[in-house]
Amino acid sequence: MTSNGSNWNAIMQYSFLHVFANDGLIDRDELQMLERLALQDGAVDDREKDVLTRVFARVNPQTVDPAVWEELQRFKARFDIP
């Protein structure tokens, strides 16, 4: 975690080391970890939203499990992530 409480860097590192390095997809466990990192301080700040927007833009309904896609859409809507 950075000194201001934002986990944007941890989210970015996790997404590229664990999510996209192995298969380029987001599975249920990976999405849950991204959510935990973003919500560790109880809020999703602007820097975290920016990173998550870029991460989520790399997947689509055809490349992830339908249940994962639904959860991803709920998470985005809940925290106003483009």
Summarised one tens digit per residue, pLDDT across range 52-76 is 999 999 999 998 999 999 999 999 9
Structure tokens, 40: 């560790």
CA-CA distances (angstroms) from residue 34 to 8, 11, 31, 64?
10, 6, 5, 15
Domain limits of the chain?
A: 8-78
- Separation of CA 29 from chain center: 11
In tens, the pLDDT along 10-42 reads: 998 988 777 777 777 899 999 999 999 999 999
